[in-house]
Structure 1
Amino acid sequence: MKRDNLFLSTIYTLTLATILAWSTTNWAGEDLSAWILPSVPVPGDNPQSEAKIRLGKQLVFDTRLSKNDSIACAHCHVPSAGGGGLTPRAFGHGGELGRWAPSWINAAYYTSQFWDGRAASLEEQTGALPGHMGPITAPGEMAGNIDAIVKRLNAIPGYRKQFRAVFNEPATRENIAKAIASFERTLIARNAPFQKYVKGNKNALSKKAQRGFELFRGKAQCAICHTPPLLTDNRFHNIGVPQVGPLQKDLGRFEVTHKDEDKGAFKTPSLYNSATFSFQTHDGAFATLDELIAHYNRGGDPSNPNQSSLVQPLKLTTREMSDLKSFLESLTDPSLNQISRPNLP
Structure 2
Amino acid sequence: MTIKYVALAGAVLMLSGCGGSDDATTTNVYIPQTPTTPTASQILKETIEAASNGGGIESFILPENLSDIPQDPNNPLTEEKVALGKLLYHETALATQGVNGDRNGTWSCASCHHADAGFKSGVPQGIAEGGEGFGMKGEGRMLAAGFDAASADPRFRPDVQPIASPSVLNTAYQDVMLWNGQFGNNVEGIVNAGLAEAVLATPGTPKTNNLRLLSGLEVQAIAGTGVHRLKTSDDSILQTNAEYIAMFEAAFPEGSSDATEDAGKAIAAFERTVLASQSPFQQWLKGDEDAMTEDEMAGATLFFGRAGCVDCHRGPALSSEVGATEDEMFFALGFADFDPNNPQITGTVDDATSRGRGGFTGEESDNYKFKIAQLYNLADTNVFGHGASFESIRDVVAYKNTAVPQKVIPASALDPRFMPLGLTDEEVDQITAFLETALYDPNLSRYVPESLPSGNCSPVNDAIAQADLGC
- Using the size of structure 2 for normalisation, the TM-score is 0.63
**Identical amino acids, percent of aligned pairs:** 30
Give 1:248 shift: 5.3
Single out whichever of 204-213 and 312-321 deviates more from structure 2: 312-321
One-letter amino acid of the counterpart of residue 188, structure 1: L
- 1:158 matches 2:222: no
One-letter amino acid of the counterpart of residue 165, structure 2: A
SS at match of 2:225: coil
Structure 1 segment 180-191 matched on structure 2, within 5 A? 180-191=267-278
Give 1:109 shift: 1.1
Which residue of the other structure, out of 248, 251, 275, is the alignment partner of 2:355?
A: 251
Match of 2:220 in 1: 125
Cα gap change, 1:338 to 1:322, in 2 (>3 Å): farther
State the alpha-carbon separation in 1 of the partners of residues 281 and 289 from structure 2. 9
Match of 1:143 in 2: 229
One-letter amino acid of the counterpart of residue 244, structure 1: F
Unaligned 5+ runs, structure 2 = 1-30, 50-55, 99-103, 130-156, 185-214, 340-347, 454-471
Match of 1:6 in 2: none
- Aligned CA RMSD, in angstroms, stands at 2.5
Match of 2:74 in 1: 45
Unaligned 5+ runs, structure 1 = 1-12, 129-133
One-letter amino acid of the counterpart of residue 74, structure 1: A
Give 1:315 shift: 2.4
Q: Say whether the 8 Å CA contact 2:232–2:263 is kept in structure 1.
A: no
Q: Say whether the 8 Å CA contact 1:61–1:342 is kept in structure 2.
A: no
More helix by share: 1
State the alpha-carbon separation in 2 of the partners of residues 338 and 158 from structure 1. 21
Q: Say whether the 8 Å CA contact 1:211–1:323 is kept in structure 2.
A: yes
Give 1:146 shift: 5.2
Match of 2:409 in 1: 304
State the alpha-carbon separation in 1 of the partners of residues 238 and 94 from structure 2. 9
- 1:331 matches 2:439: yes
Give 1:244 shift: 2.2
Q: Say whether the 8 Å CA contact 2:397–2:428 is kept in structure 1.
A: yes
State the alpha-carbon separation in 1 of the partners of residues 74 and 385 from structure 2. 33
- 1:287 matches 2:391: yes
Give 1:224 shift: 1.1
Which residue of the other structure, out of 108, 122, 125, is the alignment partner of 1:89?
A: 125
Q: Say whether the 8 Å CA contact 2:123–2:383 is kept in structure 1.
A: yes
Structure 1 segment 68-87 matched on structure 2, within 5 A? 68-87=104-123
Q: Say whether the 8 Å CA contact 2:384–2:392 is kept in structure 1.
A: yes
Q: Say whether the 8 Å CA contact 1:298–1:312 is kept in structure 2.
A: yes
Q: Say whether the 8 Å CA contact 2:312–2:372 is kept in structure 1.
A: yes
Write the deviation string for residues 201-242 of structure 1: whole angstroms up to 9, x where unpaired: 111111101110111123322111002333123511111101
Structure 1 segment 6-85 matched on structure 2, within 5 A? 17=35, 20-21=37-38, 25-27=42-44, 32-37=57-62, 39-66=68-95, 67=98, 68-85=104-121
One-letter amino acid of the counterpart of residue 110, structure 1: Q
Q: Say whether the 8 Å CA contact 2:163–2:337 is kept in structure 1.
A: no
One-letter amino acid of the counterpart of residue 415, structure 2: S
SS at match of 1:185: helix
Single out whichever of 184-193 and 62-71 deviates more from structure 2: 62-71
Which residue of the other structure, out of 334, 347, 355, is the alignment partner of 1:240?
A: 334
Give 1:200 shift: 2.1
State the alpha-carbon separation in 2 of the partners of residues 153 and 147 from structure 1. 7
State the alpha-carbon separation in 1 of the partners of residues 34 and 94 from structure 2. 64
State the alpha-carbon separation in 2 of the partners of residues 192 and 100 from structure 1. 24
- 1:226 matches 2:301: no
State the alpha-carbon separation in 1 of the partners of residues 33 and 386 from structure 2. 48
Write the deviation string for residues 104-155 of structure 1: whole angstroms up to 9, x where unpaired: 11011101111111111211101x3xxxxx33211xxx2235545x644212
One-letter amino acid of the counterpart of residue 209, structure 1: E
- Using the size of structure 1 for normalisation, the TM-score is 0.85
Structure number, greater radius of gyration: 2
Cα gap change, 1:225 to 1:107, in 2 (>3 Å): same
Give 1:195 shift: 1.1
Q: Say whether the 8 Å CA contact 1:34–1:228 is kept in structure 2.
A: yes
Cα gap change, 1:147 to 1:227, in 2 (>3 Å): same
Single out whichever of 287-296 and 319-328 deviates more from structure 2: 287-296
Match of 1:10 in 2: none
- 1:192 matches 2:297: no
Q: Say whether the 8 Å CA contact 1:193–1:331 is kept in structure 2.
A: yes
- 1:167 matches 2:252: yes
State the alpha-carbon separation in 2 of the partners of residues 158 and 262 from structure 1. 46
